[in-house]
């Protein structure tokens, strides 16, 4: 077990608590950079897919994991980010400014929507955002002149500094672009968490009343969290749409938003690692299942993917509410404390529910 | 006459929404949780009934099959509570939201694996004949839906107001710990209410299947029932029925008088508007605590 002997306040908010962690993440980055030389293009595009899911997941994690507000409507913002980016590029903008601007616009729209919606809490918020996700598909059809409606849109070609980035011609460029975006967003996220704003997010999640008592403007904090979250998810949506190459009103259904929420639950609610672990599960589950069903004939049932998905989630909610990353934390703690780890160190606190209807 | 006709078909649809919304409200009233799988319960109830009644499945007489189906669904609801939901006892609502959403996925998958993904018709004696009401035509099935829904709502409402079990359910949602102190077996009460709401879902399913073909994704009308429950004020039984009727009546009128493309938006737009301007619904159940 490593002990951090803290001699200044800066030690508390350092990005890497010690050289070992720095080394581990540095090595991970090196492996990720070297990946195109180790894998063929099929697996590379799978990894790109994982990273894209992770971007969208990071966005939702900021809202649900860090600020504690559930959203079942983030597919709406993925659609908004995707269509904004494509429309800006069709209007003649180049990829990088269009991409950044699409994130900003999605974030602003998200913050605007947040103002009335965030007065709701808990289940009401989930229902309101779910309604938002459902009407998105219809709105895309109504806005046919811009969005192409049911026929959809083709993603414009991406050029960065004169180099064409095409999934089929040079998948490694796509991969590097996604990797760069993921690293930047993760760094922003990590730095946000150690800023006063990030602490305010966590305070609002843990108790709105005590956050208010500490002088935090709860409504403002929630609005900012919603806006930031929508912005990041919008970027994820833009990447997802461009990676698919074409998108229409059925690309970003509310099922996508539910999948996104499930993903961060499986990964580990409230941990940045959780978004990545969840993305790995959600991107490789269909592939893994198709390998299984190819070999085992009687398992070849339509709709199996969502069934297995639901079962995995039920398993996690009931047995491992902290998700995959939580499981890893438990295993690590067990080894670090060996042989002094106790069985109920991570036990859920016994709690009793009180109504929200009387306040 | 056209308006009358639209109104009648809207009322019948609205009653189905209202029935599903009743299930939400029952669970919300007694456990403070929201069951996102209620629509899928409805679908499963309908398919259990189809499996019992239709001639190429078991072919049991309709009126014998009804109590059987209700029993099966009630047992299923109770089993779900003691196996899955009880392990989340006292946890916050979000965990239960996610659990019930994934339960919905599993139910949809299971129903698809057992009964297939083709739409099926229930061979229902209700599905015969039409009745003329002052020039407008209403089918027997629609009439049955309306009558059963109204009776069931009144019954459940009185059940919550008058009986000991109903009061125990309300108490255990307001404060679990205090309910324990009063000698209420909170966990068993919750099991009872899950069974009850599964039975209500089954009734909704049987009626919905009498009105038309049923397929595995029919559970998604649960989302419209959400709109109904929220408009009526989550936690109010007559409110749920009223909300269901509002959503059901608005739909045919919207698709008749609004340009196509906009009409599907109507129920959700109303839902969002209600949430923004009157977040706790028409029959608000939220009161400020008296000190």
Higher per-residue pLDDT: A163 or A330: A330
Is A240 within 8 Å of A56 (Cβ atoms)? yes
Chain A residues lying within 8 Å of B264, measured CB to CB: 138
Pairwise CB contact (< 8 Å): B109 & A303: yes
For the segment A201-209, the average pLDDT, to the nearest whole number, is 88
Residue A47, pLDDT score: 92
- Name every residue whose Cβ is closer than 8 Å to that of residue B233 and which is 6 or more positions away in sequence: B239, B243, B280, B281, B282, B283, B284, B285
Residue A352, pLDDT score: 67
How far, in Å, CA of A349 to CA of A103, rounded?
39
What is the DSSP track for A252-319? S-HHHHHHHHHHHHHH-TT-HHHHHHHHHHHHHHHHHHHHHHHH-GGG--TTHHHHHHHHHHHHHHHH
Residue B263, pLDDT score: 81
In a domain, A324, yes or no: no
How far, in Å, CA of A241 to CA of B242, rounded?
41
pLDDT in tens, B71-82: 999 999 999 999
Mean pLDDT by 10 residues, chain B (291 residues): 83 90 87 87 93 86 91 94 84 83 91 87 77 77 88 90 89 83 88 93 91 84 86 83 90 85 83 82 63 50
Query: Which residues does residue A163 pair with via DSSP β-bridges, in sequence order?
Result: A160
In a domain, B290, yes or no: no
Residue ranges making up the domain that contains A102: 18-253
How far, in Å, CA of B35 to CA of B101, rounded?
8
Higher per-residue pLDDT: A122 or A171: A171
Pairwise CB contact (< 8 Å): B93 & A358: no
Q: Is the pLDDT assigned to residue A301 strictly greater than 80?
A: no
Alpha helix (H) ranges present in B89-221?
A: 93-115, 140-162, 164-174, 176-181, 186-211
In a domain, B275, yes or no: no
Closest-CA distance, A137 to chain B, in angstroms, reads 10
Q: How far is CA B33 from CA B100, B186, B240, B284, in A?
A: 10, 14, 16, 17
Residue A208, pLDDT score: 84
Is A260 within 8 Å of A56 (Cβ atoms)? yes
Residue A31, pLDDT score: 93
In a domain, B145, yes or no: yes
ipTM tops the 0.90 cut: no
Residue ranges making up the domain that contains B19: 2-218
Residue B96, pLDDT score: 86
In a domain, B263, yes or no: no
Structure tokens at A321: 């509410």
Asked if the C-beta of A250 comes within 8 angstroms of chain B's C-beta atoms, the answer is no
Q: How far is CA B129 from CA A73, B77, B204, B238, in A?
A: 43, 34, 20, 30
Pairwise CB contact (< 8 Å): A313 & B99: yes
Q: Is the pLDDT assigned to residue A59 strictly greater than 60?
A: yes
Residue A334, pLDDT score: 86
Residue B62, pLDDT score: 87
CA atoms within 13 A on the CB side of A19: 0
Instruction: Fill in the DSSP letter of residue A158.
Output: E
Q: Is the pLDDT assigned to residue A152 strictly greater than 70?
A: yes
In a domain, B39, yes or no: yes
Pairwise CB contact (< 8 Å): A358 & B176: no
Count the helices and strands in chain A (H runs, E runs). Answer: 15, 4
Is A251 within 8 Å of A147 (Cβ atoms)? no
Higher per-residue pLDDT: A123 or A97: A97
In a domain, B231, yes or no: no
Is B31 within 8 Å of B196 (Cβ atoms)? no
Radius of gyration over every alpha carbon of chain B, rounded to an integer in angstroms: 19
Q: How many domains does chain A have?
A: 1
Residue A318, pLDDT score: 87
Output the average pLDDT for chain A.
87
Structure tokens at A257: 């938003």
For the segment A123-149, the average pLDDT, to the nearest whole number, is 87
- Name every residue whose Cβ is closer than 8 Å to that of residue B175 and which is 6 or more positions away in sequence: A352, A354, A355
- Determine the 3-state secondary structure of B133 from DSSP: strand
pLDDT in tens, B111-134: 988 888 888 888 877 767 777 777
pLDDT in tens, A61-88: 999 989 988 889 899 999 999 999 999 9
In a domain, A157, yes or no: yes
In a domain, A80, yes or no: yes
Q: How many CB pairs under 8 A join A and B?
A: 154
Q: How many domains does chain B have?
A: 1
Residue A20, pLDDT score: 87
Is B15 within 8 Å of B144 (Cβ atoms)? no
Residue B32, pLDDT score: 78
In a domain, B253, yes or no: no
For the segment A280-292, the average pLDDT, to the nearest whole number, is 86
- Name every residue whose Cβ is closer than 8 Å to that of residue B195 and which is 6 or more positions away in sequence: B74, B75, B77, B78, B81
In a domain, A102, yes or no: yes
Instruction: Fill in the DSSP letter of residue A358.
Output: B
For the segment A1-10, the average pLDDT, to the nearest whole number, is 75
Pairwise CB contact (< 8 Å): A117 & B110: no
For the segment A335-359, the average pLDDT, to the nearest whole number, is 70
**What burial class does residue A103 get, using C-beta atoms within 10 Å of its C-beta: 0-12 exposed, 13-18 middle, 19+ buried?**
buried
In a domain, B248, yes or no: no
Asked if the C-beta of A139 comes within 8 angstroms of chain B's C-beta atoms, the answer is yes
How far, in Å, CA of B61 to CA of B66, rounded?
9
Highest mean pLDDT among A114-123, A163-172, A281-290, B74-83: B74-83
Chain B residues lying within 8 Å of A142, measured CB to CB: 261-262
């Amino acid at each position: 077990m490593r002990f951090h002997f803290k001699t200044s306040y800066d030690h508390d908010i350092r990005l890497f608590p010690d050289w070992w962690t720095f080394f581990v993440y540095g090595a991970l980055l090196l492996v990720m950079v070297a990946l195109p030389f180790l894998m063929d293009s099929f697996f590379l595009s799978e990894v790109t897919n994982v990273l894209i899911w992770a971007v969208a997941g990071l966005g939702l994690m900021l809202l649900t994991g860090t600020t504690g507000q559930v959203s079942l409507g983030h597919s709406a913002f993925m659609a908004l980010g995707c269509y904004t980016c494509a429309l800006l590029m069709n209007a003649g903008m180049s990829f990088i400014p269009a991409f950044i601007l699409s994130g900003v616009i999605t974030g602003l729209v998200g913050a605007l929507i947040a103002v009335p919606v965030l007065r709701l809490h808990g289940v009401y918020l989930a229902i309101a955002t779910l309604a938002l996700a459902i009407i998105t598909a219809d709105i895309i059809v109504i806005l046919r002149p811009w969005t192409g409606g049911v026929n959809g849109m083709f993603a414009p070609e991406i050029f960065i500094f004169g180099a064409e980035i095409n999934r089929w011609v040079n998948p490694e460029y796509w991969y590097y672009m996604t990797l760069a975006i993921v690293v930047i967003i993760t760094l922003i996220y990590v730095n946000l968490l150690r800023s006063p704003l990030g602490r305010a997010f966590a305070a609002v999640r843990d108790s709105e009343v005590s956050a208010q008592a500490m002088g935090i403007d709860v409504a403002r904090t929630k609005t900012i969290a919603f806006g930031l979250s929508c912005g990041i998810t919008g970027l994820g949506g833009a990447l997802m749409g461009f990676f698919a190459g074409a998108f229409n009103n059925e690309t970003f259904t509310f099922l996508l938003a539910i999948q996104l929420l499930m993903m961060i639950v499986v990964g580990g609610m409230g941990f940045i690692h959780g978004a990545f672990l969840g993305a790995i599960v959600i991107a490789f589950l269909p592939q893994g299942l198709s390998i299984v069903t190819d070999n085992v004939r009687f398992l070849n049932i339509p709709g199996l993917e969502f069934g297995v998905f639901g079962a995995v989630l039920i398993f996690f909610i009931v047995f491992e509410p902290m998700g995959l990353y939580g499981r890893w934390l438990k295993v690590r703690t067990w080894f670090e404390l060996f042989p002094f780890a106790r069985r109920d160190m991570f036990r859920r606190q016994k709690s009793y529910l009180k109504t929200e209807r009387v306040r | 006459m056209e308006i009358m006709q639209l109104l009648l078909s809207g009322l019948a649809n609205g009653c189905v929404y209202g029935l599903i919304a009743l299930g939400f409200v029952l669970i919300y009233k007694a456990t403070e949780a929201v069951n996102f799988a209620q629509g899928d319960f409805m679908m499963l109830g309908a398919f259990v009934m189809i499996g019992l009644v239709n001639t190429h499945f078991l072919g049991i007489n309709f009126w014998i099959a009804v109590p059987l189906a209700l029993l099966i669904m009630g047992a299923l609801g109770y089993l779900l509570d003691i196996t899955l939901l009880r392990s989340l006892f006292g946890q916050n609502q979000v965990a239960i939201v996610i659990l019930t959403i994934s339960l919905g996925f599993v139910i949809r998958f299971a129903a698809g694996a057992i009964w297939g993904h083709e739409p099926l018709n229930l061979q229902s004696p209700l599905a015969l004949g039409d009745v003329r009401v002052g020039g407008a035509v209403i089918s027997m099935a629609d009439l049955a839906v309306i009558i059963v829904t109204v009776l069931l709502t009144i019954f459940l409402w009185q059940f919550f107001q008058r009986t000991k079990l109903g009061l125990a359910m309300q108490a255990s949602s307001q404060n679990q710990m205090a309910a324990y102190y009063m000698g209420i077996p909170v966990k068993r009460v919750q099991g009872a209410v899950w069974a009850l709401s599964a039975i209500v879902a089954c009734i909704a399913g049987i009626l919905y299947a009498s009105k038309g073909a049923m397929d595995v994704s029919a559970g998604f009308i649960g989302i419209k029932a959400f709109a109904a429950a929220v408009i009526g004020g989550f936690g109010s039984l007559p409110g749920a029925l009223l909300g269901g009727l509002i959503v059901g009546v608005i739909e045919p009128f919207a698709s008749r008088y609004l340009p196509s493309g906009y009409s599907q938006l109507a129920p959700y737009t109303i839902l969002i508007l209600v949430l923004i301007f009157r977040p706790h619904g028409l029959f608000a159940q939220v009161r400020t605590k008296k000190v």
